[in-house]
Structure formats: C-alpha cells, structure tokens
Structure 1
C-alpha cells in the first residue's frame, strides 16, 4: 500500500497552483480507476511535511473534505480561495474552470 500512496502523492504534487483534481482522477492516473477511496485515505493520512498539496484534491462534485484542520471544510475552502479557485453557488469548486486532468493538462 505504501507504494500506492507514494504514486498518489506523486500525482498530487503535480497539480498546479490554482487548480484542483478529484480522487477518482488521481486513481485513474495511477492506473486503477477503482481506487478513488484509497486516494481519499492517502490524502487524509498524508504525513506532515510531505509537500503534498492535499487541499487541491476534491470529490467528484467539487466537494470539500472535513479532514482539514482546524475548521474542516472551511479550512479547505480558504486554502483553495487563497489560490484563486472559485466556487459555485452550492459551495463546490467550479470544476469546469479549475479541474486539472493530468500532467498533459498543464
């Protein structure tokens, strides 16, 4: 599993500033689209100081995670807003504008 987590972290490190991707997209990029839940576990268990921008990973609807300290989804949103990421009226990331599909997406 550690090798899988490291693959996940390596993809997450490539997400550009001001862009986001989804758990499912990272699973697809590491070669197993069925591992989106594992991507979620990797993001929530990311070691401090691992230089992985976990805040740039959202769910398939652009939804935020409760795991961000100290305020959960509000902290997650603040981190993304500081990078210029915009949200839809329902509080999700505007995936049409900010989705990153992989290394060839720029």
Structure 2
C-alpha cells in the first residue's frame, strides 16, 4: 500500500472546499487527518506549483483574514477571487459565521 504524502492529503482537503465558502488552515489540517498542523497547511499552500488549479484562495486564517501581505499582488488576487464567488469582506476580515465551510 502506498502512503499518501501530507502535502497530497492537504491538497485533497483544499480541493473539497466549495465555491463561496472558506476554510481555515486548522480546518484543512483536521480534514487532512493532520490535527494541529495548521502551520504545515500554510507552508504547503505557499509551495503550490505555479498554475495550480487548486482553490487555494478559499483558505484563510482563524480570524477570517487573508494571510498574504496586504497590498501584495497575491493578496489582491485572493481577495478578488473570493469576492467573485460572492464572499463579502467586513474590513480586512471575512465573517466566518457567514462563509466558513462547516465540516
């Protein structure tokens, strides 16, 4: 039997997040069977291959904020992608009570 790498487990979890919803790094870690590994999720997402079709933009921090530096090209891209899916920001945050994907 072949063991699936942690990165692959994380990617499979992220792939399940539906449009118009977000998940926190901790939720993704739990779904991937890696409880307590939110930082690993962040590091893995940071290393996604160029041109990946994974919905990386749907992963946010526990406060509902984007983790990329505000004002960066990546931040703007993530925010635009989320807004195009109907997610409304309240200041720099996404109200998780409204948009968090419930597992």
TM-score tier after normalising by the smaller chain length: 0.7 to 0.9
TM-score, structure 2 as length reference = 0.85
TM-score, structure 1 as length reference = 0.83
Q: Give me the whole-angstrom Cα distance separating, in 2, the residues matched to 1:62 and 1:18.
A: 14
Q: Which runs of 4+ in 1 moved over 4 A?
A: none
Structure 1 equivalent of residue 36 of structure 2: 34
Counterpart among 19, 22, 39 of residue 21 in structure 2:
19
Q: Which runs of 5+ in 1 are unaligned?
A: none
Q: CA deviation at 1:74?
A: 2.2
Q: Give me the whole-angstrom Cα distance separating, in 2, the residues matched to 1:32 and 1:11.
A: 11
Aligned residue pairs total 99
- Supply the RMSD in Å over aligned alpha carbons: 1.9
Structure 1 equivalent of residue 54 of structure 2: 52
